[in-house]
Amino acid sequence: MRAYDIIEKKRDKIELDKDEINFLIKGYVSGEIPDYQMSAFLMAVYLNGMTDDECEALTECMLDSGDRMDLSAIDGIKVDKHSTGGVGDKTTLIVTPIVAACGVKVAKMSGRGLGHTGGTIDKLASIPGMKTNLDNEKFFEIVRKVGCSVVSQSGNLVPADKKIYALRDVTATVESKPLIASSIMSKKIASGADCILLDVKVGDGAFMKTSEDAVELSKVMVSIGSRFGRKVAAVITDMNSPLGEAIGNALEVRESCEVLKGSGPQDLKEVSLVLAANMLYLADKGTYETCYKLAENALNNGSAFEKFKEMVKAQGGDISSFEGDHYVSEAKIKYDVVAWDSGYIHSMGAESLGKASMILGAGREKKEDSIDYSAGILLHKKIGEKVSTGDVLATFYSSDEYKCHEAEKIFKEAVCISENIPKIGKLIKARVTSEEIEKF
Ligand code: URA
């Protein structure tokens, strides 16, 4: 077998078999197939797509490149959740304790943020003392005792994805549905949960820019999950503007606690409840309506917040910090951005606001960059709100005034104030299961 022939077949839209895909992935991971041939293959996939069988084979080869987590030592159904990445997306911090408070175990592996999107592990790491690099024994012990734990992805889970993702990142092949689907699903299946809920983001700040594309991607991922014996559903949620009002690690933890305490921004609360209800539904806790009620009760009666504190404490975190705004006051500079016009907030580009927050110190441009946990943006106005010239639209948190000026330029380009009342799109666009596609 030769890599050349496999690339040629994909270029000419001829379906590949499992042996061919295996040859390519194994050869690339071992270093026998060079970057330039893999790049050509990835671009051929980007342009010509993959069949369901090819996608399943690719996922399996990626899975076989490393270890698989065996969660069978933990009793009961284990549910996992994955977001395709957004700005201000702190739902994992809210949804995980809600689901655990309803009696369903969540053993979750999460990632760090890169570029304009944040990562759950960075948000958790902003809590003093919080450990996320736990060994399996400790991870399992916490899930058994508390009902949930969120840790960083362990060393040898899907090494093929690490290598291929790095190459996709520099060859303009990230936004390919079969490549995204196999990348996400190989990691989720390797993580061992019985049920997987996917939060597929759509809009300006997401990989998928239209609902049609998001539905297509969801269908592929749900189908891969079913082929591997997992119960999978996808909820398609809006990412045209940031979720909630906080962007940046410590600010997002604080906002998550507000929602867990029964207040906080309505959009964040609604998306979190829908995700939690879908996770409970996958875990057979009743009809969807019953599951939604269960999730709502866990927020209203304080049991979800208690569960969150239990989890943080079990992972070494200092829970006393949730009560005040300890971290937020740690940012040396608080810088208000005021409205330059009167009217309605028409748009707030999520991707640009994510970039502005990264410039303030909250994110990484390169993997090795360090981050400032106290940095970020607190929005005081959201899409649809009326503003007058001089109103404070947002507060920037940073350690450097120069960074605030840079971020302000991006912010002002991303936010549009118009005299017309904008049409606000739905937060939850669709739900895709192996049986049906529901559009809202
Ligand atoms: N997230 C992933 O893990 N992989 C992708 O390809 C895209 C988003």
> What's the pLDDT tens digit per position in 326-363?
556 678 999 999 999 999 999 999 999 999 999 999 98
Count the neighbouring beta carbons within 10 Å of the beta carbon of residue 38.
23
Q: Is the confidence at residue 105, as pLDDT, over 90?
A: yes
Asked whether residue 56 is assigned to any structural domain, the reply reads: no
pLDDT of residue 85: 84
Residues 317 and 350 in one domain: no
Residues 6+ apart with CB under 8 A from 222: 198, 232, 233, 234, 432, 433, 434
Binding site membership of 304 for ligand 1 (Cβ less than 6 Å): no
Confidence (pTM): 0.94
Active site residue 82: yes
109 and 255 fall within a common domain: yes
pLDDT score at 370: 84
37 lines ligand 1 (CB under 6 A): no
User: How would residue 117 be classed by pLDDT, with cut points 50, 70 and 90?
Assistant: confident
At 257, which CATH number?
3.40.1030.10
394 shares a domain with 250? no
pLDDT mean over 224-251: 95
User: Using a 6 Å cutoff on CB, does residue 374 contact ligand 1?
Assistant: no
Q: Is 161 among the residues known to form the active site?
A: yes
Same domain, 338 and 435: no
State if residue 84 touches ligand 1 by the CB under 6 angstroms criterion.
yes
Q: Could you give the number of structural domains in the chain?
A: 3
Q: Would you say residue 153 has pLDDT above 90? A: no
214 and 362 co-located in one domain: no
pLDDT single digits (tens) 15-73: 999 999 999 999 999 999 999 999 999 999 999 999 999 999 999 999 999 999 999 99
> In sequence order, what DSSP letters do the residues of 101-147 get, joined into one string?
HTT-EEEEEE---BTTB--HHHHHHTSTT------HHHHHHHHHHHS
12 lies in which domain range? 3-48
Q: What's the CATH number where 30 sits?
A: 1.20.970.10
Within a domain: residue 16?
A: yes
The reply to whether 109 falls in a domain is: yes
pLDDT, tens digit, 9 for 90 and up, residues 264-322:
999 999 999 999 999 999 999 999 999 999 999 999 999 999 999 999 999 999 988 77
Closest to 279 in 3D by CA, of 104, 40, 93: 104
For the question of residue 227 being annotated catalytic, the response is: no
Q: Is residue 362 part of a domain?
A: yes
- Decide whether any atom of ligand 1 lies within 6 Å of the 180 Cβ: yes
The catalytically annotated residue of 10, 78, 90, 187 is 187
Is residue 187 among the annotated active site residues?
Answer: yes
Distance 85 CA to ligand 1 centre (A): 8
| Average pLDDT value for residue range 88-102 | 97
- The pLDDT tens digits of the residues spanning 380-426 come to 999 999 999 999 999 999 999 999 999 999 999 999 999 999 998 89
Buried b (16+ CB within 10 A) or exposed e, 133-153: ebeeebbbebbeebbbbbbbb
